[in-house]
Amino acid sequence: DTGVSQDPRHKITKRGQNVTFRCDPISEHNRLYWYRQTLGQGPEFLTYFQNEAQLEKSRLLSDRFSAERPKGSFSTLEIQRTEQGDSAMYLCASSPLAGGFYNEQFFGPGTRLTVL
Amino acid sequence: SQQGEEDPQALSIQEGENATMNCSYKTSINNLQWYRQNSGRGLVHLILIRSNEREKHSGRLRVTLDTSKKSSSLLITASRAADTASYFCATDAGGGTYKYIFGTGTRLKVLA
């Protein structure tokens, strides 16, 4: 197993454009998380899935952000009408279900978004 | 908003010394986790401690949890230059959710 992968690793876009990021979790992991991280800060929770169900979404997340996890496998995060404030590292993590207990998260390398 | 706040924000020590960083949080939790982040490897899980545990060890790492004070500490013994990184605590948001909230991090620099 190669761990959590994210694509692309870097994305530069112009303000107002839409962008989509992909995350492939570790295959047997049921939970998948999206975070956003800016320089000097800790990861900020965006949303998480258990299998294909999106169970929680940050109230800080505007309607321009949407995430999907069809069939409970890979996930996509789309940002519509990007703004310069969206520039950040977008991190994906997956975690096993393991009897419903809390377990460690395995993070991908992230997608660095720059909005010009 | 950030639930966890690490202290200190930055720490610089000599190789071989011990490094201690603290995390305080606001609400009741089920578990607390520590992560390390450096530019080479991204975020890596270090240790998980559950709310009914008071102390855990993993190699040179020792984590304590005091739920009455809503605080945790991470001790790295005999530090190495390779320990240079940012360290974050993460707590579940409570209430049966599996959402995690990360702190602001401690930036550790180990001088050779």
CB-CB neighbors (< 8 A) of B29 in chain A? none
Show Cβ contacts of residue B96 under 8 Å, excluding neighbours closer than 6 positions: none
Q: What average pLDDT does the structure give for chain B?
A: 91
Nearest to B45 among A40, A45, A105 (CB): A105
CB-CB neighbors (< 8 A) of A93 in chain B? 43
What CA–CA distance (Å, rounded) separates A61 from B20? 34
Q: How large a percentage of chain A has pLDDT more than 90?
A: 78
CB-CB neighbors (< 8 A) of B2 in chain A? 42
Give the helix ranges, DSSP H, for B10-92: none
The answer, yes or no, to whether residue A1 has pLDDT greater than 60, is no
Q: Does the CB of A50 have a partner CB in chain B at under 8 Å?
A: yes
| CA dihedral sign of residues A97, A102, A108, A114 | positive
Taking residues A46-64, what's their average pLDDT?
90
**From the candidates A26, A39, A50, A102, which should be mutated to test the interface with B, based on the most B CB atoms within 10 A?**
A102
Give residue B3's pLDDT. Answer: 60
CA torsion, points B23, A109, B38, A35, in degrees to nearest 10?
A: -30
pLDDT, one tens digit per residue, over A67-105 is 999 988 999 999 999 999 999 999 999 998 776 577 899
Give residue B6's pLDDT. Answer: 85
Beta bridge partners of B57: B62
In chain B, whose CA is at the least distance from the CA of A89? Answer: B42
> Residue A72 — φ and ψ, nearest 5°?
65, 25
**From the candidates A105, A106, A111, A112, which should be mutated to test the interface with B, based on the most B CB atoms within 10 A?**
A105
Give residue A33's pLDDT. Answer: 96
> Residue A84 — φ and ψ, nearest 5°?
-60, -30
Taking residues A32-43, what's their average pLDDT?
94
- Identify the CA nearest to B34 among candidates B72, B80, B84, B82: B72
Nearest to A41 among B50, B90, B104 (CB): B104
Q: Are A95 and A31 in contact (CB under 8 A)?
A: yes
Taking residues A44-51, what's their average pLDDT?
94
Q: What average pLDDT does the structure give for chain A?
A: 92
Give residue B1's pLDDT. Answer: 43
Taking residues B46-65, what's their average pLDDT?
96
In chain A, whose CA is at the least distance from the CA of B34? Answer: A104
Torsion-angle region of residue B29: left (phi > 0), alpha (psi -120 to 50) or beta? beta
Nearest to A42 among B50, B88, B92 (CB): B88
